[in-house]
Structures are given as C-alpha cells and as structure tokens.
Copies of this chain bind each other. A is one copy, B any other.
Amino acid sequence: MGTTESQRGRTPRGRAASIGLSRAQIVAAAVAQIEAKGLAAFSLRELARSLGVSPAVIYWHVGGAKEDLFAAIAATITGGLAEAQDPSAIWTERLRQVFHAYRASVHCHPKVSPLLGAQMKSNGVASLDWIETVLVALAEGGFEGDALRDAFNALIGGLCGFVTMELAPGPASEDGAWEERVAQRMAEVDPKTHPLTHAALPQLANRIFVLRWQNGAQVSYDDGYAVLLDLLIDGLAARAANFPNTSPAEPKHG
C-alpha cells in the first residue's frame, strides 16, 4: 500500500553502499524543491541532483513513478488534520475548526497544493480521520442518507475547491513578464461596458481574478473564505433545525 516494501525491515541506515537515504527524506526534499521553485519546474532528475544521487534511486525508494511520489507528498501534508477540532464543541463549530485547519494546513505548502486537489480525487483524502470528522459532525446535526451525501459534497467541493483555486499557480514564468500581462489586462477593462468591474478593480483585481502574488507576498483571501464558511455552515444549521424528529445531539444510543 504505497510503502513498496522498501523499509519493511528496521534497518535504519540500510546495509550497503547506502548514503542512508530514506523515503521520508526524499518526500521532504521534493516538497522543499517544489516549494522553492514551483511545481511546474519540478523534475525527478533535479530532485536526484539536489540529493546528490542517481535518478534511479528515487524510483527504488518511492515506488513506480512520479505519481507515487506525488501521492506520498499529499499524504504527508494532509496527515494529522483531524486533531484540529475540539471534540466538546457543537458540530457546527467543529466543522468550522476542521475546515479552517484544512486551509491552514494547505497554506503551509502553497505550491504543492495542486497536488492535493488531484490526489484527493484519485487516492481518496489522504487522512480518513478527517473525512470521518466531517461526517460525524454532519450526522450529529441530523443529516443522513442523501442529505448527508449532498451536504458533504457541498462542503468538500466548495471549501476545498476554494482553497485549491485560491492557490492555483499562475503561469510558470517566474520572471515578471506575467505582471506586465496582468497590468495590460487590467488596463483593458472598459468603464463603459463593465462599470462595476472597473469600479471594483482596486478591490478585486488584486484578489481573486488576476493577481495572486503582490510584491512577492501572498494576497489574502481570508475574508472571502470566512464568508463562504459562514454561509455554508449557517445554512446547514438552519436546515438541520428543520429536521422533523431530531434532538440537537446524538441520534443513536450515544
């Protein structure tokens, strides 16, 4: 299951011409390199080069391919995410905590985040604990069956999608030719035909629809995410309040 039998024995530093390279070290180095130079510029060969190692070593340690390395990275990042909730809080509050934790966790590795979106779809969310957390909270609110499924999909799709999209990488060129094109694009907005877009440009342009980085620092979407979270959870709470026969707490034997 992903461990590829490489470190099944407890031989911490191998037994041969080892440099002592481990799977975890490779994953860590890959994350560092992606975070440094961007996902588009990432290559197995340069990863091997930065580790002072032959490219084949990565295949031996990680498994089959680049894809397995990406899966390992995603699993590393979303691990230990379910602990972010306070079990004594009400379910709506727990949802808030969990999704804020998700965003915070992903924001720790912005350039790696596209991998999360893809890997969440292919391998399932790396941390099942996290999924279970969300489902438990919704169930406590009285959701079940199709309503549970739809609420879950709306939450995961909307909130994880928001994070994925806000961190989506711009063009690969890191040399500022991009900024020029953006400025050009902004200047093209015609106040006559798009008055509100033009008026909101200082408010919006640097936010969601053009720039992501400003002077090298990341632009904040915190408020938009907070509003999205409020709308979703408050709305779900309102729906839950209308469920026919449900006490606010546990529906089963407790």
Contact = CB atoms under 8 A, between A and B. Distances in A.
Is the contact region of chain A dominated by helix, strand, or loop, or is it mixed? helix
Contacts of A194: 128-129, 131-132
A223 B153 contact: yes
Interface residues of A, number: 78
Interface string A172-197: 11000010011011101100011111
Interface string A145-176: 11011111110111111111110111111000
Given A132-B194, A161-B157, A168-B118, A148 B227 contact: no
A93 interface: no
Interface in A220-236: 221, 223-228, 230-232, 234-236
Contact of A200 (B122, B149, B225): B149
A132 B208 contact: no
Contact of A153 (B1, B184, B221): B221
A119 to B, nearest CB: 9
A154 B184 contact: no
A175 to B, nearest CB: 13
Nearest to A186: B124
- What copy number does this chain have within its complex? 2
A208 B157 contact: yes
A226 B203 CA distance: 29
Contact of A235 (B124, B129, B231): B231
Contacts of A146: 203, 223
A122 B178 contact: yes
Contacts of A154: 162, 224-225, 227-228, 231
Contacts of A117: 164-165, 168
B165 A161 contact: yes
Given A1-B184, A156-B208, A189-B128, A227 B165 contact: no
Interface of A: 1, 67, 117-118, 120-125, 128-129, 131-132, 135-136, 139, 145-146, 148-154, 156-166, 168-173, 178, 181-182, 184-186, 188-189, 193-197, 200, 203-205, 207-210, 212, 221, 223-228, 230-232, 234-236
Given A149-B204, A161-B165, A234-B235, 14 more contacts: A117-B168, A121-B170, A121-B212, A125-B209, A128-B197, A131-B197, A145-B203, A149-B203, A151-B227, A153-B225, A154-B227, A157-B221, A158-B161, A228-B232
